């Protein structure tokens, strides 16, 4: 089945941990509280959240306005070098949403490539050396026009919307 696009969400490092009250997609295992499978939304859990917070080896990151500008510019640059294009983009200090159209190649490889380029640009232009993104990403393939319109509207209603 052909996709109309991909909805990508990337979080800032430390901003959406396992156990978060909004739910989480992270796999987790603990002898006392059990297993949380990946690839499905797991319920919020204050015990897991506390465990994840204690396991953090660095402070969580909140993206600065300069970082946000770099992300937007880098996404546009990546699109210029590719056969896909961003249809909508929202970047807030803790996470970003992008709706990508025309992505005919492996979405996960493309997302990793774009994330790596964003990270390198932030480090090169700001001197920031810490983690930029949380591990992994959330992505959803968009297959029909109604889902496309709903996703487009969702992203463009965010405070951090950017022109693409």
Task: Tell me how far apart the alpha carbons of residues 132 and 118 are, in angstroms, rounded to a whole number.
Answer: 9
**How much is the pTM?**
0.80
Provide block-wise average pLDDT over 10 residues at a time, the chain (164 residues).
Answer: 86 74 56 54 64 75 96 96 94 94 88 96 96 85 94 89 77
pLDDT at 23: 56
End-to-end CA distance of the chain: 27
Task: Tell me how far apart the alpha carbons of residues 45 and 55 are, in angstroms, rounded to a whole number.
Answer: 15
């Amino acid at each position: 089945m052909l996709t109309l696009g991909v909805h990508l969400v990337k979080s800032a490092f430390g901003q959406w941990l396992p156990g978060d009250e909004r739910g989480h997609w992270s796999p987790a295992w603990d002898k006392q509280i059990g297993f949380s499978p990946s690839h499905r939304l797991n319920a919020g859990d204050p015990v897991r959240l506390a465990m994840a917070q204690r396991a953090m080896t660095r402070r969580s990151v909140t993206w600065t306005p300069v970082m946000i500008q770099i992300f937007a510019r880098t996404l546009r640059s990546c699109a210029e070098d590719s056969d896909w294009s961003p249809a909508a983009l929202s970047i807030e200090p803790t996470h970003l949403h992008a709706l990508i159209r025309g992505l005919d190649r492996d979405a996960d490889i493309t997302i990793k490539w774009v994330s790596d380029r964003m990270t390198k640009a932030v480090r090169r232009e700001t001197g920031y050396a810490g983690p930029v993104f949380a591990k992994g990403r959330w992505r959803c393939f968009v297959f029909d026009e109604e889902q496309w319109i709903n996703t487009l509207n969702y992203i463009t209603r965010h405070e951090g919307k950017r022109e693409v």
